[in-house]
Amino acid sequence: MLQPFTATVLTLYPEMFPGPLCHALAGRALEKDIWRLDVRNIRDAATDRHRTVDDTPAGGGPGMVMKPDVLAAAIDSALMPEDNRPRLLMSPRGEPLTQKLVREFARAPGLIIVCGRFEGVDERVIEGRNLREISIGDFVLSGGEPAALCLLDAVVRLLPGVMGKRESGDWETFEHGLLEYPQYTRPREWEGRAIPEVLLSGNHAEIERWRREQAERITRERRPDLWEACRRGKDKNEA
Ligand code: SAH
């Protein structure tokens, strides 16, 4: 159905978009119509004179909660015919965003992304509109917009035609379950630090081996969790 990849973002701060997404890789892809961005103000779905989008939490407590009726109306009016795009809600309670999920989203026809504000959204709209909660990390933002920008940045760079073949990151962090090896460029010596000799040797097999070792060392030191998962994966393949 949707051609090209179309991201609909529902937000109370539409002026935050495209923001960083109109620059560099994602920005060029937007210009080339490889993807489209449809930004909607949730407030436009409010029906009362004050255009109210939030109310006090049932049961008491601080802050405000986004109203289910207004948010659902905003989602419904953003749907396109036969819309089967994943519907996401940016949320610190959600599934952690990983490169695996990013790849999955890049294969979809597009995304519908709801950005929360205040204390969050009424639980019933999450259920009633089948929203999949996605978190960008174990910390709390003041709103879902920066999270949606991160998610879209990661997804858009994987869309066909966005990255050139050379830059398309065969050996990128996470693609092998490992963190990336160290990178260097000219000058050959800088502040008394030299580029590792092997990288200047022209011996591609040696360079490949050095990069692999470095990637493994960095992953072991910095992310024992990834290292364990990587080793378990290997054992499984060998079994
Ligand atoms: N009271 C909530 C936090 C609300 S933060 C709680 O304790 O869970 C306000 C909004 O910011 C959320 O509705 C969500 O859309 C967004 N947000 C905050 N942290 C986020 C994170 N780590 N990942 C994705 N979205 C986040």
Q: Ligand 1: which residue has its CA nearest to atom 3?
A: 119
User: Does residue 165 sit within a domain?
Assistant: no
Its domain, for residue 204, covers: 171-238
Q: Which of 156, 179, 207 is the last residue of a domain?
A: 156
Q: Ligand 1: which residue has its CA nearest to atom 4?
A: 119
Q: 122 CA to middle of ligand 1, Å?
A: 13
How do residues 165-215 score in pLDDT, each as one tens digit? 756 556 688 878 999 999 999 999 999 999 999 999 999 999 999 999 999
- Residue 153's pLDDT band (cuts 50, 70, 90): very high
Q: Cα–Cα distance between 221 and 171 in angstroms, integer?
A: 19
User: Does residue 48 sit within a domain?
Assistant: yes
Q: Ligand 1: which residue has its CA nearest to atom 1?
A: 119
Which numbered atom of ligand 1 lies nearest the CA of 121?
13
Q: 232: domain CATH number?
A: 1.10.1270.20
Determine the pLDDT at residue 18.
98
Candidate from 78-82, 129-133, 213-217, 235-239 with smallest mean pLDDT: 235-239
User: Does residue 51 sit within a domain?
Assistant: yes
Q: Cα–Cα distance between 119 and 64 in angstroms, integer?
A: 6
User: Does residue 180 sit within a domain?
Assistant: yes
Residues 125 and 196 both lie in one domain:
no
Q: How much is the average pLDDT of 232-236?
A: 82
pTM as predicted: 0.95
Using CB distances shorter than 6 Å, the residues near ligand 1 are 90-93, 115-117, 119-120, 135-137, 139-141, 143-144, 147
Residues 22 and 136 both lie in one domain:
yes
The answer on pLDDT for 140 being more than 70 is yes
Q: 57: domain CATH number?
A: 3.40.1280.10
Q: Cα–Cα distance between 144 and 116 in angstroms, integer?
A: 5
Q: Which of 133, 156, 179 is the last residue of a domain?
A: 156
The domain total for the chain is: 2
- Residue 164's pLDDT band (cuts 50, 70, 90): confident
The answer on pLDDT for 236 being more than 80 is no
Q: HEC string of the chain?
A: CCCCEEEEEEECCHHHCCHHHHCHHHHHHHHCCCEEEEEEEHHHHCCCCCCCCEECCCCCCCCCEECHHHHHHHHHHHCCCCCCCCEEEEEEEEEECCHHHHHHHHCCCEEEEEECCCCCECHHHHHHCCCEEEECCCCCCCCCHHHHHHHHHHHHCCCCCCCCCCCCCCCCCCCCCCCCCCCCCCCCEECCEECCHHHHCCCHHHHHHHHHHHHHHHHHHHCHHHHHHHHHHHHHHHC
User: Does residue 162 sit within a domain?
Assistant: no
Q: 113 CA to middle of ligand 1, Å?
A: 13
Q: How much is the average pLDDT of 102-130?
A: 98
Candidate from 2-6, 66-70, 85-89, 137-141 with smallest mean pLDDT: 2-6
How do residues 46-58 score in pLDDT, each as one tens digit? 999 999 999 999 9
For residue 64, give both structure tokens: 């405000």
Residues 16 and 129 both lie in one domain:
yes
Residues 65 and 137 both lie in one domain:
yes
- Inter-CA distances, 103 with 63, 141, 151, 235, Å: 35, 24, 11, 24
User: Does residue 164 sit within a domain?
Assistant: no
Q: Cα–Cα distance between 155 and 191 in angstroms, integer?
A: 38
Residues 43 and 128 both lie in one domain:
yes
Mean pLDDT of the chain: 95
User: Does residue 206 sit within a domain?
Assistant: yes
Residues 65 and 94 both lie in one domain:
yes
Q: Cα–Cα distance between 69 and 122 in angstroms, integer?
A: 9
Print burial letters for 105-132: b (CB count within 10 Å at least 16), e (below 16): bbeebbbbbbbbbbebbbeebbeebebe
User: Does residue 161 sit within a domain?
Assistant: no
Q: 90 CA to middle of ligand 1, Å?
A: 7
- Ligand 1 pocket test: pick from 64, 115, 125, 140 the residue with the most ligand atoms within 8 Å of its Cβ: 140
